[in-house]
Amino acid sequence: MAEKPWSGRFSEKTDAAVERFTASHAYDRRLYPYDIEGSMAHCRMLAKVGVITTAEADQLVNGLADVKQELDQGEFVFSDSLEDIHMHIESRLGTRVGEVAKKLHTARSRNDQVALDIRLYLRHETRRVIDLLKTLRSAVVALAEKNDDVIMPGYTHTQRAQPVLFAHHLMAWYEMFTRDQDRFVDSLKRTNVMPLGAAALAGTPYPIDRPYVAQLLDFPAVTANSMDTVADRDFAMEFLAAASICMVHLSRLSEELVLWSSSEFSFITLSDAFTTGSSIMPQKKNPDIPEIVRGKTGRVVGSLMALITLMKGLPMTYNRDMQEDKEPLFDAVDTITACLDITARMIPEITVNREKMRAAAAVGFLNATDMADYLAAKGVPFRQAHECAGKAVAFALGKGKELDQLSLDEIRQFSSRIEPDIFDHLTLEHMINRRQSIGGTATATVRAAIAGARTHLASEKTE
Ligand code: ARG
């Protein structure tokens, strides 16, 4: 059994059950590349300020590289007695480079070390999420561009409301994912701050050079207060909040894909490669991908709840409770990256059933508002115009017709202001193209939105 780094003060061995209970290596081992990268930078800094010699730093850095290789190759042996990944690496370094390994932890604590590891990890993963969001947004824009003349019913309360361009609907998703991406870009600013040097909680008497460590690890800034540095995980909470909102968007998109691909809607067909069959019902083609994405949303929201609840009662500064930050964070990262990736792959595979969409937009009185608008344009106050159109809908329902199927005489019963040009106003194209208000569904407006999105995507710099 490995000797504990704190054995000086202890006369009894740690109980095996305690070792099992407190160990975190089973999950925090995934931090190893960041832990080693951070330790290498720490060694270089210690040598730069003269706390260790350059020869010692070289020995440590080379030893750390060897340990990394062992970990990369999966040859590493883990043990509960060394609790976490940080102690495993330090202990293994000792067996490889001998006595000098004992200098690695000078001017450092696991409290600032683990804060560094999580920040490095989350910085990497946040950039990956941002890239995936970019890919997803491009896929959404491409589908909109390919189908920029397809008309569908727009819904409120899941009831047909007014006709819209399918591309307009898609561009609504684009906007949601753009804001999601902005939230990640913003949370990244607060994750991307270098914590090492806070040591246990109060800073360190060694003449350390924190900006140098920041420079080596490509951080634009160092944290300002040592206590805050080891006490908080708000950057992770922010990531999880952004991830939860993004998953809610993905879940709603998924819900629509499930509905639209049903026989009842038949608005879209998902490709065979992105659907699954049934083991009993030969006819089935199930939208499992959007269903699973919708289902996974709860996990990410759950992770946010777990971390927020974990932190809420903690006094300053580091508390061991905080070891529980990792599993929810890792799970949320794995979940959101998988969901973004699969959704971005599935979207280009969607076949749009334009006739079905158009037919659905043509029935159900989606032009009733436009009849009211027509009358209002002729000088009828809108409330009164609304009433006339409502009566016309009731009349048409009784006849089993749509508004545009009524004869001129039939429709004129509801207002003497009605002229033959009413029927032009009630066509799908007319309704769509009259909605030229900023952000509306007119073809030209939507095409401009698509072009704007393309320019925006092309100009986005890599984080
Ligand atoms: N495994 C610990 C964690 O993730 C590392 C920090 C331990 N620090 C301590 N003082 N016991 O939180």
What's the CA-to-centroid distance between 11 and ligand 1, angstroms? 22
DSSP assignment of 426-459, as one string?
TSHHHHHHH--STT---HHHHHHHHHHHHHHHHH
Q: Supply the pLDDT for residue 272.
A: 84
Q: Supply the pLDDT for residue 2.
A: 61
Q: Supply the pLDDT for residue 1.
A: 46
What's the CA-to-centroid distance between 130 and ligand 1, angstroms? 29
Distances (CA, A) of 330 to 74, 249, 388, 396: 20, 20, 59, 58
Confirm or reject: Cβ of 187 under 6 Å from ligand 1.
Answer: no
Confirm or reject: Cβ of 141 under 6 Å from ligand 1.
Answer: no
- The reply to whether 79 belongs to the active site is no
Q: Supply the pLDDT for residue 78.
A: 97
Helices (H), 261-353: 288-311, 326-346
Determine the length of the chain: 463
Q: Supply the pLDDT for residue 75.
A: 87
CB within 8 Å of 251: residues ≥ 6 apart: 293, 294, 297
Q: Supply the pLDDT for residue 235.
A: 98
Instruction: Please name the residue whose Cα sits nearest to atom 4 of ligand 1.
Output: 323
- Specify the DSSP class assigned to residue 267: -
What's the CA-to-centroid distance between 319 and ligand 1, angstroms? 8
Confirm or reject: Cβ of 110 under 6 Å from ligand 1.
Answer: yes
What's the CA-to-centroid distance between 26 and ligand 1, angstroms? 14
Strand partners, 269: 351
Single out the catalytic residue among 7, 271, 278, 456: 278
- Specify the DSSP class assigned to residue 403: G
Pairing of strands 268-269, 351-352: antiparallel
Single out the catalytic residue among 11, 157, 263, 416: 157
Confirm or reject: Cβ of 111 under 6 Å from ligand 1.
Answer: yes
């996974």: which residue's tokens? 296
State the number of CA atoms in the 13 A half-sphere of 453 facing the CB: 31
Burial 34-73 (b: 16+ CB within 10 A, else e): bbbbbbbbbbbbbbbeebbeeebbebbbebbeebbeebee
Give the number of other CB atoms < 10 A from CB of residue 216: 18
The continuous run of DSSP H or E covering 67 comes out as helix 54-72
Confirm or reject: Cβ of 296 under 6 Å from ligand 1.
Answer: no
DSSP assignment of 154-219, as one string?
EEETTEEEEEEEHHHHHHHHHHHHHHHHHHHHHHHHHHSSB-TT-TTTT--SS---HHHHHHHTT-
Confirm or reject: Cβ of 180 under 6 Å from ligand 1.
Answer: no
Q: Supply the pLDDT for residue 81.
A: 93
Calpha distance 312→153 (Å, rounded): 46
Say if residues 113 and 38 touch (Cβ distance below 8 Å): yes
Note down pLDDT in tens along the chain; length 463 residues: 467 788 888 888 889 999 999 999 999 999 999 999 999 999 999 999 999 999 999 999 999 999 999 999 998 999 999 999 999 999 999 999 999 999 999 999 999 999 999 999 999 999 999 999 999 999 999 999 999 999 999 999 999 999 999 999 999 999 999 999 999 999 999 999 999 999 999 999 999 999 999 999 999 999 999 999 999 999 999 999 999 999 999 999 999 999 999 999 999 999 888 888 878 787 878 899 999 999 999 999 999 999 999 999 999 999 999 999 999 999 999 999 999 999 999 999 999 999 999 999 999 999 999 999 999 999 999 999 999 999 999 999 999 999 999 999 999 999 999 999 999 999 999 999 999 999 999 999 999 999 999 999 999 987 7
Residue 87: alpha-carbon gap to chain centroid: 32
What's the CA-to-centroid distance between 24 and ligand 1, angstroms? 9
pLDDT in tens, 384-437: 999 999 999 999 999 999 999 999 999 999 999 999 999 999 999 999 999 999
- The reply to whether 303 belongs to the active site is no
Calpha distance 389→371 (Å, rounded): 6
Instruction: Please name the residue whose Cα sits nearest to atom 12 of ligand 1.
Output: 323
Calpha distance 160→369 (Å, rounded): 12
Instruction: Please name the residue whose Cα sits nearest to atom 3 of ligand 1.
Output: 323
Longest dimension (CA), the chain: 102
Calpha distance 356→262 (Å, rounded): 12
Say if residues 296 and 339 touch (Cβ distance below 8 Å): yes
Say if residues 152 and 169 touch (Cβ distance below 8 Å): yes
Say if residues 31 and 199 touch (Cβ distance below 8 Å): no
Calpha distance 325→303 (Å, rounded): 9
Q: Supply the pLDDT for residue 383.
A: 94
Instruction: Please name the residue whose Cα sits nearest to atom 7 of ligand 1.
Output: 110
